[in-house]
A and B are shown apart, each in its own frame.
Chain A
C-alpha cells in the first residue's frame, strides 16, 4: 500500500539541527544549506557550538547546533525560533526545545534516549515515552541508530563508524520533508572521502535510509515545497564571512599588485581566516603564525614597512593585546589592516558566541589621540567588500584600518551574488621612487588625502628613520615641540576624517522621512532590515539605515537623523553605537540592547518600534 502524501507550498522555514559535539550537526546543517542554496532559496545560517572541543558526550555543555532559515522570499536573518528542531540526543532536546515554536516539528533520534543520556541531560523520565512532547509538537521519534545499523549491516567498518552516520540519516529525513535532491550531498561525500569507499557507502546508505524513512513511514504525510527565491539576476554561490573576508583580501592583492603578508595568532572565531589564507600561497599570499597576538600585528606592520600590505586578524582579547602596535601604525602612518572578529566579552568571555561589544575598543581603545578608520561589514557576503575597502583605504590614506566583523558574520552564510572584481573601485599603489630622492621628506603629504608617501627600504636615496616618537611635520624627525604636536594630532585626525569622502551616500530602506529610523551598524543589518520590511507591510512609517563606516561616520548621517521623530539603534551590546551617535549628533537615540551571544531577532525590533509608536 502506498501512503498518500500531500504537497504544501510555504514561504519560509527555520530548521535547527542540534546534537552532541560529536554528532556532526555542523555538517548536517552545512549540507542542508548548500543544497538549499543550489535549489535557489534565499537563506541565512547561524552555527552555534560550544567552546570546548569535546565536552563530555551527552552533556548539556557539549550541545552543538546549526540553524538555517531558508525561503522563497528575500530574507535577512537566520530566523529566531525554529519551525523544526532536530534533536540527536536528550541534552540537545533539553537545551533547544524551549525555542521550538508551539506546534512545531520535532525530530528526535530515539536511540540516543538511553538512561545514561537522559540522566546527563537532567531528565527524570524519558520525554519520548510520556505525553510531554506529543501533546504539543508534531513529533517524530526515529530510531536513527538502528536505521543506520541495518542499512550498513554488510559493510565492513567498525560499528562506531556506522553510528557516526546518524547525522546523514537525519539529513535524509529533512531532504524528504523539504523535497530536496540528494545528489549534491552524495557528490560531496564522494569528494570528501575519496580514498575511503566504505565510508562513502555507509554515509550514502544512511542518507538514503533517512530519505526512505520519510517516504515510507506513515507519520510523514506532508512534503513542504519552498520555491526558488526571486533574487536579483546573476551567478550565485553560498558564502560565509570567513571566506568572503579572505576573497576580499585576495582581490585587493590582485587589483593592486601588492604582496600581502598575513600574520596572526590562532584565536576563536578568527582562526579560519589564517587557515584559508594559508592555502593561497600560490596567489602570492604569505602567512605567518606568530608566537603571540602582539607578534602577529608586529610582523604585519613590519611587512607593511617593507612594502607588502600587512594584515592581521583576531578577536577582542587578541585585539586588546595588539593595541599598542595600532598606535605605532598610526604614528608611523603605514598601511595595515586589522580584522576584529568580535565575540562575547569581557576577558575570555564567550569565545564561540557573537557580540558587537568591541565597538568602543575599535574606535577609542588606544592611548593618546589615535584615530583609526573602522569599517563594519553588514552580512557574511559583505565581508568581501569590507576587506577589499579596508585594504584600499589603508594604502590610499597610509593608515591602519580596522574591520569590525563578528562570530555571526564569519560563521554565518548566505546566497551571494558573485561580484566581478572589475566593478570594484580601482586600487593604485604609488611607492616613492629613487627619482624622488631630491625632494623626498618622509612626512610630506598628498594635499588631498593627507597621506604621506610609502617609501620602502631598498629604495636608493630615500633612507630615513621612523618610529613611535612624535614626528616633526614634513621632515618626520623626532620632535617634542608643543605647536608641532598640536599640528600633528590635528593632521592625523583630519586624515581619517577625510575618508568620509570615500563613503557612498547612505541608502535608506523604507520611508526616507517618518516616525522611526532604525539605525543599525555592521551585523545588525539583517534583523533591522527584516523588521523594517515587516513594519512597512503594516503601514508603519519606518526607515532603515545600515551603517558600515563607523569611523568616520557617513557625512550625510546627521541630516538623515533629523528626518525622523525617533531613532532606534538595535545592537548586541549595551548601547555603544548609541552613545557615539548621541555624542556626535546630539540626537536622543533609543537603544534596543541584548547580549545573549546571538544576533538580535527581528521580532524584538518590530515590538520595540511599535512600543515607540505608542509612546
Chain B
C-alpha cells in the first residue's frame, strides 16, 4: 500500500467562520478534535460528522470532512442509516443535552442498545443555548431560567448512567477545559468498535456560566475530580492521597496513609459493569469526586457487523428465486393467448 500523506490539523478546518459565542466551550472541543484527528484518521473522505440542532450541532460546518446538520434530536437516526448503508465510514455524531436527551432521547437509547459502530460526542452544558437559556433535561432541579422563573421542577438525567442503562458498551466522560483528557477520550472512542458514547461537560458562558467550575477551578478541582484509568487505583486529591475504597458493595472516599494503604484502593476495571455503574453515580460533591475517563468499555457485536453477516448469509442461500425476474414469475401463473 502506498504511503498516504500525513494529515494536519488544518486539513480538518473548513472555510466557514466559526460562529459560537466568544468564550464558548465548543471552541475547545472543536480545536481538540481537529488536533487529534490527524493522529487517528488516515482517510479524511471517510469521516462524516452528523448532528442535530443546537449550538453543538453546528459542529459539522467547521470540520472539513463530510457533514450533515440534520434536524432536532434525530441525528442518531440519520447516522444509523448512513452506517447501515456504508459500514466503512467513520461516523461522528455531535449532539447536546437537549438534542440528545430531550427531543432525541428515544433515538439515543436505541442507538446505544443496537451498538451501531459510531462515535457520540454529547456536549453537556446543562442548558438550552440556541433557544436562549431555558433549562435542559440535565439542568439541576430548581434551576431558574426564562421558562422556570420559580425554579425548574424536573429532576435531571444522568447521561452516563442513562447510556449504561441502555446497554452502551463504551461510556466515557470528559470536560472541555481538560484538553489532553478530551483528546485521549476522542482517541479511545475512535478505537472502540461499537457505539462510543462520550459525555463532554461544556461550559456555556452566556446562559450557564460556571456550571462545571467545581471541576475546573484550580483551588478545588483536584478534590472534585477522579481520573479513572483501566488497571489504575482510583486516586485523587490535591495531595494525591484520597482514593475510592469499596466497603462491601459500598464505595467510600478514604485517605491513603494510616488506616488504608494504596493496595486498599479500588482499581478501575473498564469491563466491570458494577464499577461502571458505581462511577456513573458519582457527581462532584463533598461525598464523591466526579469521575472522568472511560467508565465502561466492553466488546459487544455491533449492529452493522451483524447486518453485514446476515446479508452475507442470505447471499449464500442458493434456493428459491435468484433475480427479480424469477420473483416476478413466481407463484401460480397462466398464459392468455
A residues with CB within 8 A of B: 34, 37-38, 40, 184, 228, 231-238, 247, 250-251, 253-254, 259, 261, 263, 280-284, 286, 288, 290-292, 294-308, 310, 324-325, 327-328, 332, 418-419, 421, 456-469, 477-478
Contacts and interface: CB of A to CB of B under 8 A. Distances in A.
A282 B326 CA distance: 13
7 contacts: A238-B331, A302-B82, A303-B82, A306-B83, A306-B86, A306-B89, A461-B45
A5 to B, nearest CB: 27
Contacts of A261: 81, 84-85
B77 A236 contact: no
B334 to A, nearest CB: 5
Contacts of A461: 45
B131 interface: no
A234 B336 contact: yes
B86 A308 contact: yes
Interface in B287-337: 307, 310-311, 314-315, 317, 323-325, 327-337
Interface in B37-75: 43-48, 50, 53, 60-61, 63-71, 74
Contacts of B325: 421
Contacts of B209: none
Given A234-B336, A237-B333, A291-B107, A302 B80 contact: yes
B147 interface: no
B77 A463 contact: no
Contact of A298 (B63, B78, B86): B78
Given A235-B334, A457-B48, A458-B86, A467 B107 contact: no
| Centre residue among A253, A296, A478 by max chain B CB count within 10 A | A478
Nearest to B313: A281
Q: Which of B47, B82, B110, B315 has the most CB of A within 10 A?
A: B82
Contacts of A301: 78, 81
B106 interface: yes
Given A302-B81, A468-B70, A458 B61 contact: no
Given A298-B80, A303-B82, A306-B82, 19 more contacts: A236-B335, A261-B84, A261-B85, A263-B84, A281-B314, A295-B77, A299-B84, A302-B79, A302-B80, A302-B85, A303-B85, A305-B78, A306-B83, A307-B85, A332-B68, A418-B329, A459-B45, A466-B69, A467-B69
Nearest to A39: B334
The residue in B43, B71, B107, B329 that gathers the most chain A C-beta atoms within 10 A of its C-beta is B71
A263 B83 CA distance: 13
B76 to A, nearest CB: 8
Instruction: Describe A's contact surface by its main secondary structure.
Output: mixed
B88 interface: yes
Given A40-B334, A298-B78, A288 B45 contact: no
A231 B335 CA distance: 10
B250 interface: no
Contacts of B330: 237
Looking at B44, B77, B107, B317, the one whose CB has the most chain A CB atoms below 10 A away is B77
Nearest to A324: B71
Contact of A247 (B107, B328, B332, B334): B328
Given A303-B85, A305-B68, A458-B45, A254 B333 contact: no
Given A238-B331, A254-B324, A299 B89 contact: no
Contact of A286 (B67, B89, B307, B335): B307
A369 B75 CA distance: 23
A380 to B, nearest CB: 14
B328 A458 contact: no
A559 B334 CA distance: 41
B336 A231 contact: yes
Contacts of A286: 84-85, 307, 311
B14 interface: yes
Contact of A310 (B60, B81, B110, B331): B81
A419 to B, nearest CB: 7
A421 B328 CA distance: 9
Nearest to A462: B45
A234 B328 CA distance: 13
A302 B78 contact: yes
A251 B324 contact: yes
A295 B74 contact: yes
Contact of B74 (A231, A284, A298, A464): A298
A238 B332 contact: yes
Contacts of A302: 50, 68, 77-85
Given A286-B311, A421-B325, A295 B110 contact: yes
Interface-centre pick from A251, A299, A460 (highest chain B CB count, 10 A): A299
